[in-house]
Every structure is written in C-alpha cells, then in structure tokens.
Structure 1
C-alpha cells in the first residue's frame, strides 16, 4: 500500500498492558467510526505494513485501545511505539454538503462570486492556525483562509469550489 493512497488516522501513543496492547491516538472528530476495524497500516521504516486487529475499544474519547495480532508483550509493542497509523482512502466516510477532505478538492476550480474564476486549488496549507486554500492562477499563487463564511458551495459534480471572499482579499493578488 502506498502512502498516497491512504489517509493519516493517528499515532501509536502509549502501551496499555503487559500483553502488548497499545493506545492509538485518533486524529479525527469522530473516533467512534474507527472502533471496529479489522486492520490498519502502520508506518515501519518508511513502509506501510498491515497490522491485523484482534480487539479494539474506545478509550478516553480520542484513543483506541488495540490488541494487534503478533504483538504479545511490551517489548514487541515498544517496536511500534510512536509510529503513524493509516487507512486506505476508500475507508474515509463520505462527506456531504460543504464538508470536504483536503485531498478531495485538489485540482478543483475556484470561483469567487464577485471576481469569477480565480484559479485552481493546488494544495492546502495547514501548517498555521488557520488552514489556507493554495490557489494557482497562471503564475500567481493566491492564499485564501479556509473560513466557513467564505465557502458558498463545494460542487463535487463540477469539481468546483465557490467562494464569497471579502473585497480586497483576492483582489490584492490579481492587481
């Protein structure tokens, strides 16, 4: 499995028992969706390796207590500690309306209600407190904060994001 075909689910954060159980920190708003998985991919030496789950249960809201097949003691659990956990993109729950996954809208056209076509989404910058749409129009890169009030519609059928940005925000880049 290639990392590009997967999404980041979380990280193996702590050992839970002497029998090799671990706690996976789930980086999601809906941890209950991932309670009954059969397997996950764990990044080991830059490769995604399938790990099969014997049992799992939610623990303190955002942790999943997991017992993996072939991990039977603390020492074996130590070998996967702090490793990232992934699932195939096909396992993502489908979102509706104006909710979207960052990877889903890459290459979507962007239309501003006031300015018309302002380019295509080439990436999402989520390294700061406020994620930003990275939009490319010719040689110009436009950064627009991902604020719910700016997003009018995610048009999946036409692969388009329709925005209503305040005057001056995008105009600044286009002058």
Structure 2
C-alpha cells in the first residue's frame, strides 16, 4: 500500500499505561464512525506497515488503542508520533458538493480574481480547522468555514474565498 492511495486517519500522540496502549489524535470529521476498525497502516520511515487493533475506545476525537504485538511501554514508545493511514477506498462516497479535507491539498486559492496561493495543509487546532496556504513562500492561515470558502471545485483544484476584512493585513510586513 502506498501513501498516495491512503488518507491520514490520525497520529499516535503518546503512550498510555504500561501494557502497550497508545493515545491517538483522530484527524477526521466523524471519529465515532471508526469505532469498529480492525487494522490501520502506520508510517514507518516512509513505508506503510499494517497494524492490527486489539482494542479501541474513541472519545471526543481521541482514541485509546491497543495494537496486537505492542505489549509493553517500550514497544508503544517506538510508535509515538507515527501517522495512521487508511485506504482511500474505505472512505464513504460524498454528495455532489461535498469534499474531504485531503482533497483541498494543492488547490489554488483565489479571493475575487486574485490568486492568494496554494493549500499545503489542513491544520486542526482543537476542532478549529485552518487552511495553511503557501503564498509565494509565506504561510497564510485561513479558517476553514463555509462562510469563507465560497466555492470549492476539487476537480479544477480551485477554492474561492471571501475573507473577513483585515485578515490578510496581519501577514503584511
């Protein structure tokens, strides 16, 4: 399995207890939909390695997971900061005007007819999503809100925005 064929589910953020459990930050819209996962892929130095799940408890965008064959604190420490992936084929189909956050990566962002830059990342800060835009080498952060993203055309890789007054002023030197 290649990373290009997957989407990021989350990241192992810390160990939990002494028996190999880990805490995972889930970077998905509806974390509870993943309650019955049997396995995930973990990024191990650029290669995706399957890990099978022994137990999984989801609570408010975080998961407490015990993986098969991760049976000690030392084993768990080895996977902290690892990113978790699932195949794109496992994503549910969306309605016509819906999109996944990973679909926004590399989209060009325009305000009116002026190009602001290209989306490089979607950042989740405590439930608040931000678009990280590369504007000729300068990073601009824009809230990912329906009232700001006026149109999203994933197939054309184009996002039109209507920014609040003064938002870009904080990025001007």
Q: TM-score range by the shorter chain?
A: 0.5 to 0.7
2:3 is matched with 3
CA contact (8 A) 2:53 2:66 kept: yes
CA contact (8 A) 2:11 2:81 kept: no
CA 16–157 in structure 1, closer or farther in 2 if over 3 Å, else same: same
Task: State the number of aligned residues.
Answer: 162
**Secondary structure of the equivalent of 1:14?**
strand
Bigger Rg, structure 1 or 2: 1
2:37 is matched with 37
Unaligned runs of 5+ in 1: 136-142, 167-175
**Secondary structure of the equivalent of 2:75?**
helix
**Distance in 2 between residues matched to 1:50 and 1:79, nearest whole Å:** 15
Q: What is the TM-score of this pair, normalised by structure 2?
A: 0.63
**Distance in 2 between residues matched to 1:53 and 1:68, nearest whole Å:** 4
Unaligned runs of 5+ in 2: 165-173
CA contact (8 A) 2:57 2:63 kept: yes
**Distance in 2 between residues matched to 1:106 and 1:73, nearest whole Å:** 37
**Distance in 1 between residues matched to 2:38 and 2:86, nearest whole Å:** 11
CA 13–107 in structure 1, closer or farther in 2 if over 3 Å, else same: closer
1:56 is matched with 56
